[in-house]
């Protein structure tokens, strides 16, 4: 493996190996990873983030439970693709896990799927339904590799072979995403559209197709991520200051969005995060989820 790979021990009984792909995959993918061992938490509440996931599972099934408008019966699947979710959802982990995964950048999954990512919005879809025979082939080939490092290298090659032609206009989407991220989700959508030179409707249509959500929804993701990063569980939190610095209209607007994204009030979330940080400081740096009792 290249020097860019690294090993993270996220819990005493679970190993997490993260592998950074080379160009051109690095334009679309944050990392490839492998997780193996005993899950430290049987249930996690996952928060909306602008990242889609590919999971190639070699252990027992995970179960997903939607919330809000996406509430539905529990979903259970082996290998799957997890789209962008606009509400929090809950995942039941099996006692022991073993899977390869891929974290895609916003819009990064599109060249590998070649259909509108809005079809995966608030969805967990079996990989068989998306890639057909290739889903079985990729799992079979990965299972035959004797080492984890070899499996990650093979996964990189398979994804590179699966990479489709560059979408016309992808540079516009990538620019919009970069600007939204740079402004922490607080950029004016009309100003962004004017800067790019297209209408707000056209920009929204492109983002729904390539990223999976509207421009407004994507800005909410980045603003919410900024809110979570700004909270230090070891210190008192001035929620009014957090709301103001994140450009919410008022405290009521902040509280409503916070509940929609996390399922908790700000105070309840802080208590749970402090306990998480105390129980498992190595893993508590991941702000994308919190254990559920």
Do the beta carbons of residue 243 and residue 75 sit within 8 Å? no
- Tokens found for residue 229: 């990063």
Looking at residue 75, what is its pLDDT? 73
Nearest alpha carbon to residue 72 among 90, 59, 57: 90
Same-domain status, 184 and 134: no
Count CA within 13 A, CB hemisphere, residue 250. 1
Three-class DSSP category at 229: helix
Q: Are residues 77 and 100 in the same domain?
A: yes
One domain for residues 151 and 248: no
The pLDDT assigned to 11 comes to 54
Do 242 and 151 lie in a common domain?
A: no
> Quick one: pLDDT at residue 144?
96
Q: Tell me, yes or no, whether 83 lies in a domain.
A: yes
3-state helix, strand, coil in the chain (%, to 5): 45, 20, 35
The pLDDT assigned to 167 comes to 67
Is 122 found in the same domain as 101?
A: yes
Whether 190 and 115 map to the same domain: the answer is: no
- For the chain, what is the total number of helices (H) and then of strands (E)? 11, 12
User: What distance in Å separates the CA atoms of residue 122 and residue 116, rounded to the nearest whole number?
Assistant: 13
Q: What is the largest CA-CA distance in the chain?
A: 55
The answer on 237 and 202 residing in a single domain is yes
133 Cβ partners below 8 Å, 6+ apart? Answer: none
- Output the tens digit of pLDDT for each of the chain's 293 residues: 444 454 444 456 788 899 999 999 999 999 999 999 998 889 999 999 999 999 999 999 999 998 765 566 667 778 999 999 998 999 999 999 999 999 999 999 999 998 999 999 999 999 999 999 999 999 999 999 999 999 999 999 999 998 876 667 788 999 999 999 999 999 999 999 999 999 999 999 999 999 999 999 999 999 999 999 999 988 999 999 999 999 898 899 999 999 989 999 999 999 999 999 888 877 767 888 999 97
Number of domains forming the structure of the chain: 2
What is the model's pLDDT at position 281?
Answer: 77
Q: Which domain holds residue 153?
A: 6-162
pLDDT value at residue 291: 92
Res 68: pLDDT = 66
φ, ψ at 163 (rounded to 5°): -60, 120
């Amino acid at each position: 493996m290249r020097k860019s790979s690294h090993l993270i021990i996220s819990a005493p009984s679970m190993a997490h190996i993260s592998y950074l792909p080379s160009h051109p995959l690095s334009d679309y993918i944050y990392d490839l990873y492998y997780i193996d061992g005993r899950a430290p938490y049987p249930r996690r509440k996952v928060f909306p983030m602008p990242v889609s996931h590919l999971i190639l599972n070699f252990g027992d099934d995970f179960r997903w439970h939607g919330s809000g408008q996406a509430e539905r019966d529990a979903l259970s699947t082996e290998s799957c693709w997890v789209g962008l979710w606009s509400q929090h959802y809950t995942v039941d982990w099996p006692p022991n896990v073993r899977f390869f995964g891929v974290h895609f950048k916003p819009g990064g999954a599109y060249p590998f799927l070649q259909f509108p990512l809005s079809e995966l919005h608030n969805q967990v879809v079996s990989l068989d339904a998306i890639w057909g025979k290739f889903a079985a082939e990729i799992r079979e080939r990965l299972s035959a590799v004797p080492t984890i490092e070899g499996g990650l290298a093979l996964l990189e090659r398979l994804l590179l072979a699966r990479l489709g032609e560059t979408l016309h206009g992808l540079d516009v989407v990538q620019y919009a995403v970069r600007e939204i991220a740079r402004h922490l989700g607080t950029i004016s959508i009309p100003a962004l559209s004017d800067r790019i030179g297209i209408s707000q409707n056209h920009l929204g249509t492109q983002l729904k197709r390539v990223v999976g959500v509207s421009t407004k929804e994507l800005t909410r993701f980045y603003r919410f991520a900024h809110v979570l990063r700004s909270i230090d569980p070891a210190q008192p939190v001035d929620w009014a200051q957090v709301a103001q610095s994140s450009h919410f209209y008022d405290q009521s607007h902040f509280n409503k969005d916070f509940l929609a994204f996390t399922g908790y009030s700000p105070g309840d979330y802080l208590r749970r995060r402090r306990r998480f940080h105390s129980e498992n400081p190595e893993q508590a740096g991941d702000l994308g989820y919190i254990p559920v009792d």
